[in-house]
Structure 1
Amino acid sequence: MAVYISVVSHGHGGLIKQLDCLANLAEKFNVVVKLNLKELDLVSYLKENNIHVIDELYGLGFGHNNNVVFSHCSNILKMNDGDTFIVFNPDVISSVEAIEQLVDSMNKEKVPIAAVNLFKDAKYSLPDNSIRKFPSLTQFINSFLGLGNSSIINKKNIIKPTITDWAAGSFLAFTASHYKTLQGFDENYFMYCEDIDICFRSNRLGSPVTFFPNVKMQHLAEHANRSMFSKHFYWHLKSVIRFLLCKRGLTKVKSSL
């Protein structure tokens, strides 16, 4: 069984080259980088390090980009249903051993969708709030207003694989067959809530996310400004409304798979 790692770069060329993580992973796994804008210097680096490149279809949303990578892996690289497809942010740092540990655990426990333990620092002492409960309208409003977020799950005391509602799209692992069953990400979202949505739909099909606390990685998270007048705020608000409609069963998935 092979592993395919999907990375979307939106001007992340400098970071990708600086971290050099993907080059290391590409020695063992199939790493595919989808460019969301022109990055000529990055293309050269990727090809030199045996990393597959999709250099077309710019300006897509997060979910749509990952669906494009999945189709590429299936149709061009011949990914099989039993293989593992990983959505991997360019600001995540992982060792080969951590990926292998996760895939082995998923196979052993027959887990179709999984999350790992992300931290903000290299010493794994500052946890990233990467697993949460499915949010309500009230929780969304409180988060927007800076009043806290009660949907965040405290990972500190979780010491064994545990079912959780949803995990951040900075790192999500799927069996290829399950990603296909879910029709991938819903492309009606743009940058926000795609991860909540796909985890919710998986949960609804009887396959909730399994969180593996012992598989640790670093996430250099930088969140975009979401002031009331920013485009990010508009994208986020639109996505929130769509997810709340999804919870009521009032939406249909748009997918290019």
Structure 2
Amino acid sequence: MSVFISVVSHGHGELIKQLSCLATLAKKFTVVVKLNLEERTLIPYLEQNRIQYIDEQYGIGFGHNNNVVYSYCKKTLDMNEHDFFIVFNPDLISDLQQIDKLVHYMSKNEVKMASVNLFKDEKFILPDNSIRNFPSLSQFIKSFVGLGNSAIIDKGTVTNPIQVDWAAGSFLAFKASHYSLLKGFDEGYFMYCEDIDICYRSSLLGEPIIFHPEIKMQHLAEHANRSIFSKHFYWHVSSVIRFLMTKVKLTNSKSSID
């Protein structure tokens, strides 16, 4: 059983070198960095620290990038169905022990998909709102106009591993066979909601994601501009529409089968 960690870098080279987290993880696990634009100064660092990298197919979406890494791990690095595939943001900080604990739990309890407890600070005081209930259209609208988000789950009330609807794509761990069964991320999403979508599709298969409050990592999240004139706003709205339409379609399809 091996662990493969997928990291997408979109100009994150200096941050990756500064944090040195991936270099630490690569001492025990197979780390693969997918470059989404040309970063020639990062490549020597990756090679020096025995970090695998894919330097092609620039400008594709988040989910598509991770699917490319998954395919590379299977075809080139001999990842098999018993291994674990972890989607890991370049702005996360974790040590080896946290990954070990998660993989041990998933293996022991036959968990197919899991996430961990993300915080905005190194002392693990400021929580990242990284676990939520599946959103409705009204919740999306309220969130867009600044009226809060009732889909957010208060992590402070969670003390043991529990099932949740979805967790942020900043960190998602999969049994490799389950990622394959899901056919990876839906590449129709360029950015935003692909994490909701894959968690929703997994739940329909009877495999909800398991959140682990005791496994903690720091997330140096910088949220992109979402003004109505930004491309991020467009990506977000189009992804919301796609998810809501897909949710209805998949739910109806499952109901007809049942």
TM over 0.5: yes
Letter in 2 for 1:108: K
* Alpha-carbon separation, structure 1, partners of 2:106 and 2:91: 23
**Residue equivalent to 2:189:** 189
Give deviations 1:17-47, integer Å, cap 9, x for gaps. Answer: 0000000000000000000000001111001
* Alpha-carbon separation, structure 1, partners of 2:107 and 2:235: 36
**Residue equivalent to 2:221:** 221
**Residue equivalent to 2:256:** none
Pairing of 1:1-257 with structure 2 (within 5 A): 1-249=1-249
Letter in 1 for 2:231: K
Structure 1 residue 249, shift from structure 2 partner: 1.3
Letter in 2 for 1:148: G
Structure 1 residue 108, shift from structure 2 partner: 1.0
* Alpha-carbon separation, structure 1, partners of 2:191 and 2:26: 26
What SS does the aligned partner of 2:190 have? coil
Task: State the TM-score, normalizing by the size of structure 2.
Answer: 0.96
What SS does the aligned partner of 1:34 have? strand
User: Unmatched 5+ residue regions in structure 1?
Assistant: 252-257
User: Unmatched 5+ residue regions in structure 2?
Assistant: 252-258
* Alpha-carbon separation, structure 2, partners of 1:50 and 1:7: 14
Task: State the TM-score, normalizing by the size of structure 1.
Answer: 0.97
Question: How many positions carry a matched residue from both structures?
Answer: 251
What SS does the aligned partner of 1:156 have? helix
Structure 1 residue 250, shift from structure 2 partner: 6.2
Give deviations 1:169-228, integer Å, cap 9, x for gaps. Answer: 000000000000000000000111000000000001100000011111000011000000
**Residue equivalent to 1:254:** none
Give deviations 1:89-121, integer Å, cap 9, x for gaps. Answer: 000000000000000011111100000000000
- Give every structure 1 segment of 4 or more consecutive aligned residues whose post-TM-superposition deviation is greater than 4 Å: none
* Alpha-carbon separation, structure 1, partners of 2:190 and 2:142: 22
* Alpha-carbon separation, structure 2, partners of 1:192 and 1:220: 18
What is the CA RMSD across the aligned residues, in angstroms?
0.9
Letter in 2 for 1:164: V
Letter in 2 for 1:40: R
Structure 1 residue 5, shift from structure 2 partner: 0.1
